[in-house]
Amino acid sequence: MSKRRFLAPALALLFLTAPAVEAINVPRKSPELAISLSDGKQVLVSQYLGKVVVVAFILTWCPHCQKTIGFLSKAQTTYGPRGLQVLASAIEDVARVNLPAFIRQYNPPFPVGFDNQTVAINYLEHPPMLIPHMPILAFIDRQGIIRAQYEGDDKFFSEDQQPKNLTDKIEELLKEGTAGAKKSVPRKTPAASK
């Protein structure tokens, strides 16, 4: 009898959280996101329309986030000339205070700012009743569509595969071409039509 009493609430909890996990909808249009920088300026995700954008939501003190920033720094250096733009937003309560030291230590070649956690959760369409596992990456294509989103506990971040997974996802989106680019269609020349 006591097993049934435990099992019923556990199953109810499972059914309540299962739809929430499925609520993360990709692909979807990226809403506007303003990331505040330490100098008082803001970076808007929309200003990079036409580029492949990776938005990293991090905690400055999180070792997995720090490692991910290292991988993303290499990716920005390698793929920036081909149209990649990485952005990062620290979302812990004291991010504004922690950010200058984080930037000095890791020296990322892309904008790193801060937002509050609610802004990040809303942007990511993360179920508010579930604790986010950090870091969280959103991959946005050149047309401004969030094509993939990975949370820190996803196999995407597995220790030995993270650099390859990042590279593969970035390459996939870069290969899709530029926004508004027309596919070239071979034209028939007068000589070829004879």
Give the residues across from 28 on adjacent strands: 146
**CB–CB of 116/34 below 8 Å?**
no
- What does the pLDDT read at residue 24? 75
- Cα gap 33→149, rounded to integer Å: 15
For 88-138, write each residue's pLDDT tens digit.
999 999 999 999 999 999 999 999 999 999 999 999 999 989 999 999 999
Give pTM, 2 decimals: 0.81
Q: Which residues pair with 56 in a beta bridge?
A: 88, 137
Helices (H), 59-161: 63-79, 95-106, 117-124
Is the pLDDT confidence value at 17 over 70? no
Taking the C-alpha atoms of residue 29 and residue 122, their distance in angstroms, rounded to an integer, is 13
* E strand or H helix at 55: strand 52-58
Task: Dig out the tokens for 46 from the structure.
Answer: 């929309």
Chain-centre distance of CA 162, in angstroms? 14
Q: Work out the pLDDT band at 178, boundaries 50, 70, 90.
A: low
140-153 pLDDT, tens digit per residue, is: 999 999 999 999 99
Measured distance CA(122)–CA(116) in Å, rounded: 10
Q: Which residues on neighbouring strands pair with residue 89, listed in sequence order?
A: 57, 113
